[in-house]
Amino acid sequence: MIIRFAGDSGDGMQLTGDRFTSASALFGNDLATMPDFPAEIRAPAGTLAGVSAFQVHISDHDITTPGDEPNVLVAMNPAALRNELPRLEAGGTVIVNEDAFDERNLTKAGYTDNPLTDGSLEAFTVFEVPMTSLTQGAVEPLGVKPRDAERSKNFFALGLVSWMYTRPVEGTIAWIEQRFSAKPQVAAANLAAFKAGHAFGETAELFDHPYIVDPAALPAGTYTNINGNTALAWGLIAASQLSQLPLFLGSYPITPASDILHELSKHKRFGVRTLQAEDEIAGIGAAIGAAYGGHLGVTTTSGPGMALKAESMGLAVSLELPLLIIDIQRGGPSTGLPTKTEAADLLMAFYGRHGECPLPIIASHSPSSCFFVAIEAARIAIKYRTPVILLSDGYLANGTEPWRLPDVADLPDISTTFATEPNHTNEKGEEVFWPYLRDPETLARAWALPGTPGLMHRIGGLEKEDGSGNVSYDSDNHERMVHLRAEKIARIADDIPEAVVEGDVDDAELLVVGWGSTWGSIDAGANRARARGRKIARVHLTHLNPFPRNLGDILKAYPKVLVPEMNLGQLSRLLRAEFLIDARSVTKVRGVPFTASELEQAILDTLGGLR
Amino acid sequence: MTDTLIPVTTRKDWSSDQEVRWCPGCGDYSILAAVQMLMPDLGLRREDTVFVSGIGCAARFPYYMNTYGMHSIHGRAPAIATGLAMARPDLHVWVVTGDGDSMSIGGNHLIHAMRRNINITILMFNNQIYGLTKGQYSPTSELGKVTKSTPFGSLDHPFNPLSLAIGAEASFVARTHDMDRAHMLEIFRRAHEHKGSAFVEVFQNCNVFNDGAFEGVTAKQVREEMLIPLHHGEPIRFGADGHLGVMLDAQAGARVVEVADVGEDALMVHDETRVDPSVAFLLSRLARGPSEPTPIGVFRAVDRLEYGSEVNLQLAQSVADKGPGNLEDLLRSGATWEVA
């Protein structure tokens, strides 16, 4: 069951959707969500530009996407109806706030006739509910002014939909009381509206039976509902604990990454230092400074900030210090679509710096995976003394799913050791510290923290002499250092899991290769194609640089390779260049994820249609 | 870090084994010598001292100090030093920068480091020219300056570095020059001892691209009449036998006067601890360039909350209030449910 809540930016649709999601999670449904809101904080009320929506997919079985076409649309005004109706499945259910369909709002939404009366909604099941006036009626006894009363109507809608889908109400009631505890009258009004909506669903003859979505059969364990940015922030805290390095975040606010800064700034008990820097460059600069001092340095941003940080990333590559650069991708170029998702920064992550400047790149594939990917990024950064780029995106950042909590004891030890003694004898026979002497296996350099007696040394962005780290303009040395830095990153392939093929491993006609947030859509789309008799294998990449050792063999084992991406084919280019295979690309850059049916169709098209 | 006694050191202990590569005759040599001479007197351990620089001639400085050091990228040293000083309050963090590095490409980081009052000591070598890129005008070059990039004379209005620092409410602001070692030693020591951001402008001669830029005020034969030494709590007087002084007047701000004309009581008494930055700002505007009598010394030295210490206090307070964080509890901090 897929429900889409839509209204004006000021109508509280994100809050309504979020609460419905929490109630569903506690009820035991599997779920996936997708908030979809405009970049403007408050676009003019009632206009198409101001429509804010929240889609939630609840299910009695394991699901991986927020769903293709909503089954139910809750539209709080004409603009919401006009914007969102085209997404609704044929014959779907529409619940509208009848009170909002006055001439003024209809005109603002661009309707010449009222869609509720002109017959244009005949193909749908439409429930017209006077939500505004019913809400006002419910809260009037509390002494709330009509104008303020109207603001509780999202809770009326929430109560109504909660009844329709038999959500337990206790959690929401407790939440309202707690959330608005500082404003008792607002709490009372919202509560009254919520109960009125619920009661309306129960008593009105509009609905002849409630919809029931049973709990899903999920693996046993303790679950919580998590979005990608929170999971990522918690993963960073976990990485700090597991590495025994204090966490330092240098960050500049940017959509959709800011919530990581917000979350981390709460957790001072974990020794987390956060700096809201003066700009993106200072964010990464401070993180480099903290890393130099022995902290786990992190900077978080989105595309425009990645561009600004590029020079500093080059410095971190030259300094060979651990650093995490987290890019929550959004639509570009330039300011682009700040609140819409895209995954078009992959080639920038690979190549967006001057000189030969390789660094590891890894990507999360679901909201909860952000937790583990943060730990893995830190593991690689610390072990190999290198900056690591972690790619997430706006969809993962804000989307939620139930997460079976890991056992903390099972998380890896990613601690490291620092140099405390000289590591070299110079030509004068003196014991000295050479900061660029490397571990022969990992090629990681020796790391001595400021404060360590006897190991004083200078590092910097000028090319360094192999070993001593002194400034060197020697051409042989430069070539050797360029190769050493590349080889260090390439060798990480020996230290990451091999790629795993899923689906019809032995006899697939087609391999679908994905990375990032397309995971859920690919899973659902491939399974649909398999249900129609096609043999499909899938591989999803977490490690993008270096690629897993076995990726080339996997790619060559199947007759056809299809690469769905939320860009114009960036991974497919890399695969073609690296492995000389005919990787076909299917792309989408519409600010929203692939739907399962789009990928099912792309798979069938690649295979020449149904057998 | 292990022993408690600070070992006795000499200038040589603070000099690295790297060959110094500034142009012969560069003012940077005398500044380096002053810093290396000062260090043994400050009671610091070499390993607890870090020099961070950006790009430019001045930015080579860390390579010549036998301490920890980072030669970073253009303009970003204050940002990097901010992270280091926040993470490691046990270290003494110095930033060495130039007029292009700090006033131009890194202007934003400089003002924000000073605004936050990060515990760093900033030495800004001002030579009013781009040296490393071979002779373009800088943001402190005077109007009309003819350089490689301004063959018809510069049209760019220059920054006054001290006005900028005081405008950003830096808690310590001072000026010295490369021709007076004793003055440099005194000012660098004061800057180091200050808690919070200390900003020191050092007039520095670039003998290749802008030779003699400050000669009009720093040359031995003119100093007495052209440099105005600032001493806290004393009337501001200079010139032979102190015949000149600085007076505040309501209309024009601060101006130079003959003491005989106005009387000693009319002179301004220097108060570096004045919290309001307005008077220090007036003093920074006294000379329009190094051709007019120019104040040197400490313009401003005030106590203000230091950002890094405050951050660490918040962390300590959180732990004191609620105990150290527990990962298991964090993961369960939202609503949870059990699936059997």
Asked whether the beta carbons of residue A458 and residue B86 sit closer than 8 angstroms, the reply is no
Residue matched to tokens 């699901």 = A63
Asked whether the beta carbons of residue B325 and residue A267 sit closer than 8 angstroms, the reply is yes
Q: Tell me the average pLDDT of chain A.
A: 94
CATH number of the A501-606 domain: 3.40.50.920
Nearest-Cα distance to chain B for A54, in Å, is 20
Q: Tell me the average pLDDT of chain B.
A: 96
Question: A566-588: b or e for each residue (b if 16 or more CB lie within 10 Å)?
Answer: bbebbbbbbbbeebebebbbbbb
d(CA A347, CA A179): 43
Q: Would the ipTM clear 0.95, i.e. be above it?
A: yes
Which of A264-278, B58-72, B326-340 has the weakest average pLDDT? Answer: B326-340
| N-term to C-term CA, chain A | 30
Nearest-Cα distance to chain A for B191, in Å, is 21
Question: How does pLDDT run across A202-251, given as a tens digit for each residue?
Answer: 887 666 555 667 778 889 999 999 999 999 999 999 999 999 999 999 99
d(CA A440, CA A484): 11
Interface test with A, best of B80, B313, B338 (most A CBs within 10 A): B80
Question: Is the CB of residue A311 less than 8 Å away from at least one CB of chain B?
Answer: yes
Q: Is A21 helix (H, G, I), strand (E, B) or coil?
A: helix
Question: How does pLDDT run across A175-203, given as a tens digit for each residue?
Answer: 999 999 999 999 999 999 999 999 988 88
Give the mean pLDDT of A363-368: 97
Question: Is the CB of residue B110 less than 8 Å away from at least one CB of chain A?
Answer: no
pLDDT of residue A211: 66
Task: Give chain A positions within 8 Å (CB) of B50.
Answer: 450
Question: Is the CB of residue B79 less than 8 Å away from at least one CB of chain A?
Answer: yes
pLDDT of residue A207: 63
> What H or E segment, with its residue span, contains residue A177?
helix A170-179
Q: Is B298 domain-assigned?
A: no
Question: How does pLDDT run across B75-106, given as a tens digit for each residue?
Answer: 999 999 999 999 999 999 999 999 999 999 99
CB A101 within 8 A of CB A78: yes
Nearest-Cα distance to chain A for B6, in Å, is 12
Asked whether the beta carbons of residue A221 and residue B1 sit closer than 8 angstroms, the reply is no
Asked whether the beta carbons of residue B73 and residue A315 sit closer than 8 angstroms, the reply is yes
Give the mean pLDDT of B63-74: 98
Q: How far apart, in Å, are the Cα atoms of A161 and each of A16, A168, A180, B258? A: 10, 11, 21, 85
- Which residues fall within 8 angstroms of residue B325, CB to CB, at 6 or more apart? A237, A267, A269, A270, A271
Task: Give chain B positions within 8 Å (CB) of A295.
Answer: 87
Q: Are strands B253-258 and B244-249 parallel, antiparallel or unpaired?
A: antiparallel
Q: Is B220 domain-assigned?
A: no
The pair of structure tokens assigned to A546 is 């270096």
Question: How does pLDDT run across A142-170, given as a tens digit for each residue?
Answer: 888 877 888 899 999 999 988 888 888 88
Residue matched to tokens 């709590």 = B233
- Judged against a pLDDT cut of 70, whether residue B4 lies above it is answered with no
pLDDT of residue A168: 86
- Angle formed at CA A530 by CA A526 and CA A532, multiple of 5 degrees: 120
Asked whether the beta carbons of residue A452 and residue B1 sit closer than 8 angstroms, the reply is yes
d(CA B122, CA B191): 8
Question: How does pLDDT run across A491-504, given as a tens digit for each residue?
Answer: 999 999 999 999 99
pLDDT of residue A611: 62
* CATH 3.40.920.10 correct for A2-203: yes
Common-topology check for domains A2-203 and A224-410 = no
Task: Give chain A positions within 8 Å (CB) of B82.
Answer: 275, 277, 282, 285-286, 289
Residue matched to tokens 């994820």 = A593
CATH H-level, domain A224-410: superfamily: Thiamin diphosphate (ThDP)-binding fold, Pyr/PP domains (3.40.50.970)
pLDDT of residue B1: 46
- Work out how many domains chain B is built from and give that number: 1
Question: How does pLDDT run across B138-174, given as a tens digit for each residue?
Answer: 999 999 999 999 999 999 999 999 999 999 999 999 9
Q: Is B82 domain-assigned?
A: yes
- Judged against a pLDDT cut of 60, whether residue B2 lies above it is answered with no
Domain residue spans of chain A:
2-203, 224-410, 501-606
Question: How does pLDDT run across A441-488, given as a tens digit for each residue?
Answer: 999 999 999 999 999 999 999 999 999 999 999 999 999 999 999 999
pLDDT of residue A205: 60
The helix/strand count (H/E) of chain A reads as 20, 23
- Which residues fall within 8 angstroms of residue A232, CB to CB, at 6 or more apart? A260, A326, A364, A370, A371, A373, A374, A390, A392, A397
Residues 35-74 of B with CB under 8 A from A: 45-48, 50, 52, 62-63, 65-73
pLDDT of residue B173: 98
d(CA A4, CA A70): 6
Q: Is B269 domain-assigned?
A: no
Q: Residue A62, Cα to own-chain centre: how many angstroms? A: 19
- Which residues fall within 8 angstroms of residue B252, CB to CB, at 6 or more apart? none
Question: How does pLDDT run across B240-259, given as a tens digit for each residue?
Answer: 999 999 999 877 689 999 99
- Judged against a pLDDT cut of 80, whether residue A408 lies above it is answered with yes
Which of A213-222, A271-280, B46-55, B251-260 has the weakest average pLDDT? Answer: A213-222
Residue matched to tokens 């004409």 = A78
Question: Is the CB of residue B80 less than 8 Å away from at least one CB of chain A?
Answer: yes
pLDDT of residue A206: 61
Q: Which percentage of chain A shows pLDDT scores above 90?
A: 81
Q: Which percentage of chain B shows pLDDT scores above 70?
A: 99
Asked whether the beta carbons of residue A282 and residue B112 sit closer than 8 angstroms, the reply is yes
Task: Give chain B positions within 8 Å (CB) of A319.
Answer: 70
pLDDT of residue A26: 82
Task: Give chain A positions within 8 Å (CB) of B39.
Answer: none
Q: Is B246 domain-assigned?
A: no
Domain that holds residue B49: 11-213+305-314
Q: Specify the CATH number for the domain of residue B144.
A: 3.40.50.970
Question: Is the CB of residue B4 less than 8 Å away from at least one CB of chain A?
Answer: no
Q: Which percentage of chain A shows pLDDT scores above 70?
A: 98
Nearest-Cα distance to chain A for B8, in Å, is 14
- Which residues fall within 8 angstroms of residue A218, CB to CB, at 6 or more apart? A28, A30, A62, A402, A404, B339
Q: What stretches of B207-324 show up as alpha helix (H) in DSSP?
A: 215-218, 220-226, 259-262, 278-284, 307-322
- Which residues fall within 8 angstroms of residue A271, CB to CB, at 6 or more apart? A240, A246, A247, B315, B319, B324, B325
Question: How does pLDDT run across A70-123, given as a tens digit for each residue?
Answer: 999 999 999 999 999 999 988 888 999 999 999 999 999 999 999 999 989 988
Q: What is the CB neighbour count within 10 angstroms for residue A40?
A: 13
Q: Is B72 domain-assigned?
A: yes
